[in-house]
Structure 1
Amino acid sequence: MNEVAPSRTGDLQVINASFETLTGPTQLFAFGLVGADNTPVIGADVEVWTRTREGEPAVGPVPAQFREIPNQPLGLYVVRLDLPVAGAIPLAAVTSDGAAGQTALRVADPETATVPAAGDTAPVVATPTTEDLLGFERLCTLYPPCGMHKNSFDSLIADGRPVMLSIATPGFCETAICGPTVEVVESVRTARGDDDRVAWVHLEVFVDGGVTLAEQVTDWNLPSEPWLFGVGADGTVVGRLDGPLTVLPEEIMALAEQLV
């Protein structure tokens, strides 16, 4: 910290809500900032530094872009980082007025990632639809329900359709970061208006009132939520977003564009 902010004017808490970031160039990472008085830091000029190997100089600065969270009095900072190695990678965020904070990224190789990554074969699971709840007590905990329950994921893949698969539970998520996920994904879907080219599916995390994990979520090996996967017509994962990235319309739109 002293290396990148030797004269820091205050301490920040860097909120890393992503479960797993992948190795590679220009990897997307989103984070929140909270000041010493526990107040969110909104709209600041922020630069990010990382150290990929012990003993090497910090890499940076890389400017972060502030993004508002739709329908929330909060926001996130988004940055693209070159992450050549896996492991716990230290990250420092420094504002233009000298306040600074740090966290550690959990960085994994795509080949050994916990959650399916680009190039992996997507786990093909049946998802509840308006015609068949598959034992789920509620089709969708968003109110009003989203429009992403017309077709089951497995049938869409069998038909050779590219799919944007959202796995999230608006009704049982308690944070401002993951709660709006389905609402934001739904807004991108309706804005695109291309359901004939890209299918959109939402899968709830629990089969009941927030207690019993759905088998489909277990099949995807998800240790957290929310997640959004872009799956190609051949059933291969094209890309993924998790945690705070799932409430950023530009990133959701970009992932959908990769499927067409």
Structure 2
Amino acid sequence: MIPETPRSVDRRSFLRTAGLVGGGAALFASAPGLLSACGGSSSTPSGTVTLSGDANARNLVGLFNYSGDYLVSGIPQRLPFAIATPEGPPAVDGPPTLTVQLHRDQQPVGDPIVLERHADGTPIAYYPMVTTFTETGVWSITTDLDRQESSQNFMVQAPDTVPLRQVGQSMVPVDSPTVDDAGGVDPICTSVPPCSLHTQTLAAALATREPVALLISTPQFCQTGVCGPVLDTLVGLMPEFASVRFVHAEVYNRPNNGGDPAADGVTDTVTAYGLSFEPSLFVADAQGVIRTRLDNIFDRGELRAALAGVS
């Protein structure tokens, strides 16, 4: 079924309606700073996004920056989706699978895709899709929720217009902060207590010619409710993958220097990897080539598969 012409809404208003930003009990709480909730800068190519469906029913929502500067053509892309409840926040649970259909220019592309629910160690259920887009422009995905169609539009751009490091590219060897040399970053870890992934720089880890997992996140100042959980998930699985070098890098240089954590800028690691969002996990093989990138939300199942792929 081709989606009907969607209504247009202000992006931040929609995110608030979906429970992706806002205060109180919302899963993804707003916070000041450069990096925006659920994978995107508030500066987008367009001031609006589109969605369809009944505002009083559940709706499909992408947990990534669907307005632009995120998805590219010709390279495998991972798109996590959640179900937004009528009350606002994403649903904690959901059906075991979602059957979705991709559209381009209001025409279906390929066969329907069955997405599996993931929720092992995450605060909400989500549905990741990995696909390769053949062309740039506005795409959409549709599914049936509560016996009606729900859709999400998103922008796909040429790879050379998006600075984000992609699967298949080489890791960038950054002298990330360590316990011995903070490099002007304070604190080097906002997790409480600080995690153990700051004993060597990213550059040093890559120089070992062993697989590397780099997590860029800021547990204390994260604008979503998942930065702390994904770091905990990563640390919890480390004993299973002794051959992998694990590195955690913070987002902000000196987040406690005032009301805005981003006032003193972002770390060199954030800049080198082209991030306008967080958290993001880069998993590279022994040659330093990115084999998997997990953004915004991931559970133990996805993480274990990514690490096993380079071990």
- After TM superposition, the score normalised by the length of structure 1 is 0.82
Which of 96, 100, 111 aligns to 1:48? It is 100
How far is the alpha carbon of 1:237 from its aligned partner?
2.0
Q: Which secondary structure state, in structure 2, belongs to the residue aligned with residue 91 of structure 1?
A: strand
1:229 Cα offset (Å): 0.6
Offset at 1:165?
0.5
- The equivalent residue for 1:242 is 295
The equivalent of 1:214 in structure 2 is 267
Give, in whole Å, the separation in 2 of the partners of 1:187 and 1:99.
40
Provide the residue aligned with 2:221 in structure 1.
172
Q: What is the CA deviation profile of residues 220-248 of structure 1, one whole-angstrom value per residue up to 9, with x for unaligned ones?
A: 2212111111122223222211112xx32
Whether the aligned pair in 2 keeps the contact of 1:48 and 1:60 (CA below 8 Å) is no
- Return the TM-score normalized by structure 2: 0.70
CA distance in 2, matches of 1:22, 1:257: 26
**Structure 2 partner of 1:231:** 284
Counterpart residue identity of residue 128, structure 1: P
- SS of match in other structure, 1:160: coil
RMSD of the alignment, in Å?
A: 2.7
Q: Gaps (5+ residues) in structure 1?
A: none
CA deviation string 1:190-238 (max 9, x = no partner): 3x141xx110000000111122211221122212111111122223222
Deviation at 1:164, TM superposition (A): 0.4
Question: How far does the alpha carbon of each residue in 1:51-88 deviate from its partner, in whole angstroms, 9 at most, with x for none?
Answer: 1x31533544322222226263x221233445333332
How many correspondences in the alignment? Answer: 249
2:170 maps to 1:118 = no
CA change 1:40–1:113 in 2 (3 A) is: closer
Matched, 1:17 2:85: no
2:156 corresponds to which of 102, 107, 125: 107
Is the Cα contact below 8 Å between 2:57 and 2:85 reproduced in 1? yes
Query: Secondary structure of 2:189's match?
Result: coil
Distance 1:145 1:89 in 2: 41
Q: Tell me the equivalent position of 1:86.
A: 136
> Which whole-Å CA distance do the structure 1 matches of 2:182 and 2:75 have between them?
41
Aligned residue for 1:218, secondary structure, equals helix
Q: Secondary structure at the match of 1:103?
A: strand
CA 1:22 to 1:156, structure 2 compared with 1: closer, same or farther past 3 Å?
A: same
Aligned-partner SS, 2:235: helix
Q: Which runs of 4+ in 1 moved over 6 A?
A: none
Contact 2:206 2:288 in 1 (8 A): yes
Helix, strand or coil at the partner of 2:117: strand
In the alignment, the residues of structure 2 paired with residue 242 and residue 156 of structure 1 have an alpha-carbon distance, to the nearest angstrom, of 21
Distance 1:167 1:25 in 2: 21
Look up the equivalent residue of 1:204 and give its one-letter code. Answer: E
- Corresponding residue SS for 2:108: coil
Q: Cα–Cα, structure 1 residues 147 and 37, in superposed 2: closer, same or farther, change >3 Å?
A: same
Tell me the equivalent position of 1:57: 108
2:234 match: 185
Tell me the amino acid that sits aligned with residue 284 of structure 2: V
